[in-house]
């Protein structure tokens, strides 16, 4: 019953198929605002789960604009290419992050994260 407002980033866990496209299965994560983290409210919808995300080291790339699936897959491919074969990271998923509200037309920030193994 308490409004928490929107938080950033909105993080989508993407599960790439063999050809680099995204499978239909995604997981959307929202950060719980600081005042609610010690005692988060219980979700009233069974499909919403509260999870604690552990610290991680990531490889990241950033881009602007209104991000679409094709943008995330393209930048994920560029990041993969830039890392080459030397970097060890999770290949079964990556994170697509958006930092801006929909009504912000300029200076938008999006990122693709690969989680270091």
42-62 average pLDDT score: 92
Q: Which stretch of DSSP H or E encloses residue 65?
A: none
Q: What is the residue extent of each domain of the chain?
A: 10-33+52-115
At 34, list the tokens.
């600081």
Beta bridge partners of 89: 116
Does the pLDDT of residue 109 top 90, yes or no? yes
Q: Which CATH class is domain 10-33+52-115?
A: alpha beta
Q: What is the pLDDT of residue 81?
A: 96
| Dist CA 74 CA 65 (whole Å) | 14
Indicate left, alpha or beta for 29 from its phi (over 0: left) and psi (-120 to 50: alpha).
beta
C-alpha dihedral sign at 58, 61, 64, 65: negative
61-74 average pLDDT score: 95
Query: Is the Cβ–Cβ distance between 71 and 63 less than 8 Å?
Result: yes
Is pTM beyond 0.75? Reply is yes
Q: What is the pLDDT of residue 113?
A: 97
Q: What is the pLDDT of residue 6?
A: 78
Does the pLDDT of residue 73 top 80, yes or no? yes
| Dist CA 72 CA 67 (whole Å) | 7
Tell me the per-residue pLDDT of 77-106, one tens digit each, with 9 for 90 and over: 999 999 999 899 999 999 999 999 989 999
> Cβ atoms within 10 A of the Cβ of 112, count?
26
Query: Is the Cβ–Cβ distance between 96 and 110 less than 8 Å?
Result: yes
Tell me the per-residue pLDDT of 10-50, one tens digit each, with 9 for 90 and over: 999 999 887 777 777 788 998 888 888 898 888 888 998 99
């Amino acid at each position: 019953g308490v409004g928490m407002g929107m938080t950033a980033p909105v993080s989508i866990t993407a599960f790439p198929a063999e050809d680099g496209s995204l499978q239909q299965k995604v997981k959307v994560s929202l950060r719980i605002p600081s005042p609610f983290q010690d005692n988060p409210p219980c979700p009233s919808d069974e499909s919403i789960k509260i999870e604690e995300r552990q610290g991680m080291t990531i490889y990241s790339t950033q881009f602007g604009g209104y991000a679409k699936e094709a943008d995330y897959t393209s930048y994920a491919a560029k990041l993969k290419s830039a890392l080459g074969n030397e970097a060890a990271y999770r290949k079964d998923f990556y994170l697509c992050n958006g930092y801006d509200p929909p009504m912000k037309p300029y200076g938008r920030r999006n990122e693709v994260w690969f989680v270091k193994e």
